[in-house]
Structure 1
Amino acid sequence: MNDVKAAVLYAKDDIRVEEMSVPSLEPHEILVKVKATGICGSDLPRVLGDAAHHYPLVLGHEFSGVVEKIGIGVSRVKVGDRVAGVPLKPCFKCHDCASGNFAQCKYYSFIGSRVNGSWAEYVAIPEINALPFDESISFEEAAFVEPSAVALHALQLIQFQGGEHVAILGGGNIGLLTLQWVKILGAREVTVFDIDDERLETARALGADHTINAKNANVDEDWKTITKGKGFAVVLETAGSDVTMRQSFDISANKAKVCFVGTPVRDLTFTPKQFEQLNRKEFTLTGSWMSYSAPFPGNEWELTLHFLKLGRLNFKALIDRTFPLDNINEAFDLYRKPGSVKGKIMMLND
């Protein structure tokens, strides 16, 4: 095979689409011909800021494609299989890995941030990181398995069992995936908060019982009316905003479960009175990190494919636009204009 195309990050705001060598395969690795790959919110500070681990680097960790070649010892998949990619590469040897806590592995690598990823025509991955799926699922949908697993992992972490009134702070991709999962798992009612009316409209189309534009002056009155003054039994913060993280303390009910799914990008401060709500309400606060459980990669991934095949998950509604890989810089031009991106931007290869 000749050299292949990849979008290579050389420095802050410097992506070049160029030819590079076909990734070589180690034992138990496979070569995947990438068909669809997404841009994650975590990729933005790597491209538009200084958060990349090293340069040059091919980003991309949400992807699907077709197995093009298999390495020595591969037995789980075969050439021609359609697969969704799992980006985490745990060591499988440390205490955390032995306990099934792969996301807490201190010696991990990660496809698309530590090693070259899927913003390319081909990517090499361990065979255990490939999840086969059939033709009833499109490549674009399969590229959503990773963020969907992130949403489901948070719910499994807090042992969500349905029946509660749920608040989701943030109507971005993770928020709208979380919305779909809490509906599947039996939430009594769901309220989505965001500052963008188009995202809130999408949330309603995906089953939100209530939506609140957090920019409105009467936002506190709105949520108190919806919950009859009690607050929400489950609060899932998915935006990674210091504002919504503080807000989660305000809107939670007594004895609530509050989960921070979003990753903060600024310092987070509370007044003593704000933070005291953690004590007074005796709510449980936890963070959620990535999307993995035992056996690797976890049933978060298998359940996503299962419910996707059943038609219970709608990923197509979350796709904002698609671009060929050659036009990746056009995609990032949109991110430079606040409010221009309303959902997932995805790159497609022929």
Structure 2
Amino acid sequence: MKAAVLYAKNDIRVEEIGIPLLESHEILVKVKVTGICGSDLPRVMGDAAHHYPIVLGHEFSGVVEKIGSDVTKVKVGDRVVGAPLKPCHTCDDCLNGNFAQCKYYSFIGSRVNGSWAEYVAIPEANAIPFDESISFEEAALVEPSCVALHGLRLIQFQGGEHVAILGGGNIGLLTLQWAKILGARDVTVFDIDEERLETAKRLGADYTINSTRTGFEDEWKQITKGRGFGVVMETAGSDVTMRQSFELAANKAKVCFIGTPVRDLTFNHKLFELMNRKEFTLTGSWMSYGTPFPGEEWGLTLHFLKQKRLNFKEIIYKSFSLKDINEAFELYRQPGGVKGKILINNL
């Protein structure tokens, strides 16, 4: 099969490799569409890959091509989304349903070969079927949607609050949509890119604020009547937005860090005093998993996609064929060159 194999920093080679062999509990998925995740960028353009060579890719949809001897719940020809986490299912964390905290996990597309290929092997338990009312392109975005929903479920979001979303990237725009579905009083998206903010408006943001504008603090204070936001979702992984979340939070707010930082963070004593004085709750959110594995986030995403309550098409920026994957990464190397999700399309 053809696969995009990462051999070293900035060294992706599209070449022929062997089709994965199946264990008895696994299925072989013919990949139709796969995404490039923000977490893939430091693996390709930096030194974050766990080992070389490796086939990356963990956001994907496809069709079941072959099944192992012990597989009973999916069949050849099923359209499936793949959940990339491979927890051990036997440690204390897994037995308590905390699969993302498994210390013995593997991960499709970072620890073992993933979906930047014509075929990928996954455990049967990691396959979530979907019907023809959902396109393969939409289904490839189920995994990042689950990341967004997981963060809101983690803070037990119940609606009725002013919600701030810091970062208008893919996860931020998905978090926006889920906050609206789950009953937010209003949602304000903060970003420094006007195109992203325009997309946020099209996807239902009640307010958008460019945080490079002079006086932007007055804008959000007017929205919340000076009280701040009851829910703050940080999705950019930026040191600036992580610090900003302390200032935006209302008294007794819930603040959730979904974004993954790539540099050291420093919080001064005044910001920490804000956390103490406001008594807001701060938590991190990691991946998209719950019990029963892989978690309700996956089925809920497919349900609301089918109901046309989620809009993934607005988030998709460009599609490339597998053989042209290096062209996609040329866009990432250009400042401001990527305005949404890039897909690798094998249709």
What is the CA–CA distance in structure 2 between the aligned matches of 1:225 and 1:157, rounded to whole Å? 28
3-state SS, counterpart of residue 308 of structure 2: coil
Match of residue 199 from structure 1: 196
One-letter code aligned to 1:263: T
- Asked if 1:66 corresponds to 2:52, the answer is no
Relative to the length of structure 2, the TM-score reads 0.99
Match of residue 87 from structure 2: 90
- C-alpha deviations, 1:92-116, integer Å up to 9, x for none? 0000000000000000000000000
What is the CA–CA distance in structure 2 between the aligned matches of 1:49 and 1:275, rounded to whole Å? 32
One-letter code aligned to 1:327: D
Match of residue 267 from structure 2: 270
Q: Return the offset for 1:341.
A: 0.4
3-state SS, counterpart of residue 20 of structure 2: coil
Match of residue 279 from structure 1: 276
Aligned pairs for 1:230-245 within 5 A: 230-245=227-242
Match of residue 338 from structure 1: 335
- C-alpha deviations, 1:102-155, integer Å up to 9, x for none? 000000000000000000000000011100000000000000110000000001
Aligned pairs for 1:40-59 within 5 A: 40-59=37-56
Unpaired segments ≥5 residues, structure 2: none
- C-alpha deviations, 1:192-224, integer Å up to 9, x for none? 000000000000000000000011121111111
Question: Structure 1 residue aligned with 2:295, among 280, 295, 298?
Answer: 298
Match of residue 261 from structure 1: 258
Match of residue 4 from structure 2: 7
Match of residue 221 from structure 1: 218
One-letter code aligned to 1:329: N
- C-alpha deviations, 1:5-54, integer Å up to 9, x for none? 00000000000000000100001101000000000000000000000000
What is the CA–CA distance in structure 2 between the aligned matches of 1:272 and 1:73, rounded to whole Å? 57
What is the CA–CA distance in structure 2 between the aligned matches of 1:54 and 1:266, rounded to whole Å? 21
3-state SS, counterpart of residue 289 of structure 1: coil
- C-alpha deviations, 1:260-279, integer Å up to 9, x for none? 00001111101111111110
What is the CA–CA distance in structure 2 between the aligned matches of 1:335 and 1:41, rounded to whole Å? 10
Match of residue 32 from structure 2: 35
- Asked if 1:320 corresponds to 2:339, the answer is no
Q: Return the offset for 1:299.
A: 0.3
Q: After TM superposition, which residue ranges in structure 1, 4 or more long, deviate above 2 angstroms?
A: none
Match of residue 144 from structure 1: 141
- Asked if 1:173 corresponds to 2:170, the answer is yes
3-state SS, counterpart of residue 256 of structure 1: strand
Q: Return the offset for 1:162.
A: 0.3
Aligned pairs for 1:13-24 within 5 A: 13-24=10-21
One-letter code aligned to 2:92: H
RMSD of aligned alpha carbons: 0.5
What is the CA–CA distance in structure 2 between the aligned matches of 1:327 and 1:218, rounded to whole Å? 44
3-state SS, counterpart of residue 7 of structure 1: strand
